[in-house]
């Protein structure tokens, strides 16, 4: 209940309600884009400042290794399951969407942990960056295999690994996150003091404003789910729980802290609704965008924001007992 009463979450709920009553309330795209870039920049700075203090330890390297493993395991398992009742193209696109991560879910979790006084490592921002692209690359490779299998592969629709790598790693949001993290590492404690009003004092208000916009978008995406297969709706709500359980198992095996475990669970449970759909729409045009976009934004994102984050934190505390 405490997490639901957080102003940021309440603004998200308000946005959903405004969308359902078909209000003309709208955040201009330019402002929404600015808020997204601000949150990524602030997140990168926080992670960089924390890494400047801790350095790269064996525990941090282990956590990053777990993140990379999940980024490969989740889309592989998703594809094997989804191709049983979907075309190979749709299965690859949805697997990529759920194999990648939601930066907003991650940022909201950081705010939740801060409010609860639960410590976590700044390196988890690097874990998020690591988990962004592997699923996209895997999906494009799978789609190319499907094309070869059905004899439709040609130069115009088969995307090379090199092209997808370039598109993934030069994405503006990804570069801003990594660049901000590097600035935080280099500037260290001095930079942290100088940027505190920007990266800390403004953060919660900006997040609330952005979640209002996300609530509006989520409510409008829910309408696209009408008439879709119940199996897809079940996947959109059930997959996050399964993926979070995989992350929990790895965290227990590696002895991660409650805060880092919660963040790893959220990363595994989240689904991309910005970066991956943009790349997949171009790289796998045979897939139906209304499936992977509406599932991730219309169901999985609200589930994680309203229920998943406090649930994962509670489970991490219960299992780890510290």
Quick: pLDDT tens for 245-271: 999 999 999 999 999 999 999 999 999
Q: Which positions ≥6 away from 131 have C-beta within 8 Å?
A: 67, 68, 70, 71, 100, 101, 267
Confidence of residue 143 (pLDDT cuts 50, 70, 90): confident
Whether pLDDT at 158 is above 60: no
Domains of the chain, with CATH numbers? 7-13+32-320 (1.20.1530)
pLDDT band at 129 (very low <50, low <70, confident <90, very high): confident
pLDDT at residue 161 tops 60: no
18 or 135, which is more confident: 18
Round to whole Å and give the CA distance between 251 and 262: 9
CA 27 → CA 33, 249, 307, distances in Å? Answer: 10, 40, 25
Whole-model pTM?
A: 0.88
Q: Give me Rg for the CA atoms of the chain.
A: 19
Provide the pLDDT for residue 149. 73
Alpha-carbon 215 to chain mean position: 16
The answer to whether the CB of 120 falls within 8 A of the CB of 266 is no
Q: Is the pLDDT of residue 4 over 60?
A: no
| pLDDT at residue 170, rounded to an integer | 64
pLDDT value, residue 275: 72
Sort residue 272 into left (φ over 0), alpha (ψ -120 to 50) or beta. beta
- Residue 146 has a pLDDT of 83
What pLDDT, on a 0 to 100 scale, did the predictor assign at position 309?
A: 95
Question: What pLDDT band is residue 175 in, cutting at 50, 70 and 90?
Answer: confident
Q: What is the band of 55 on the pLDDT scale with cuts at 50, 70, 90?
A: confident
Please report, for the chain, how many H helices and E strands are present, in that order: 16, 0
């Amino acid at each position: 209940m405490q997490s639901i009463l957080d102003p940021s979450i309440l603004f998200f709920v308000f946005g959903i309600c405004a969308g359902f009553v078909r209000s003309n309330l709208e955040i201009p795209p330019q402002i929404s884009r600015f808020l997204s870039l601000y949150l990524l920049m602030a997140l990168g700075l926080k992670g960089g400042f924390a890494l400047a203090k801790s350095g790269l330890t064996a525990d941090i390297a282990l956590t990053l290794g777990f993140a990379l493993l999940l980024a490969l395991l989740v889309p592989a398992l998703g594809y094997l399951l989804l191709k049983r009742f979907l075309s190979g193209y749709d299965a690859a696109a949805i697997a990529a969407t759920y194999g990648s991560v939601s930066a907003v879910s991650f940022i909201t979790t950081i705010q939740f942990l801060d409010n609860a006084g639960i410590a976590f490592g700044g390196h988890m921002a690097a874990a998020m960056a690591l988990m962004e692209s592997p699923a996209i690359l895997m999906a494009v490779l799978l789609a190319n295999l499907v094309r070869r299998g059905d004899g439709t592969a040609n130069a115009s629709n088969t995307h090379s690994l090199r092209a997808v790598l370039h598109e993934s790693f030069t994405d503006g949001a990804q570069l801003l996150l990594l660049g901000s993290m590097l600035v935080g590492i280099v500037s260290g404690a001095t930079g942290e003091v100088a940027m505190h009003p920007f990266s800390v004092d403004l953060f919660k208000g900006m997040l609330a404003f952005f979640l209002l916009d996300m609530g509006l978008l989520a409510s409008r995406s829910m309408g696209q789910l009408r008439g879709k297969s119940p199996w897809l709706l079940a996947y959109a709500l059930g997959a996050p729980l399964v993926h979070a359980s995989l992350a929990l198992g790895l965290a227990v095996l590696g002895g991660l802290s409650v805060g880092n475990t919660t963040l790893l669970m959220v990363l595994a449970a989240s689904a991309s609704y910005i970066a991956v759909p943009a790349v997949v729409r171009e790289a796998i045009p045979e897939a139906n965008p209304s499936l992977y976009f509406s599932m991730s934004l219309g169901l999985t994102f609200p589930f994680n924001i309203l229920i998943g984050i406090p649930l994962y934190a509670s489970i991490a505390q219960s299992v780890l007992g510290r």
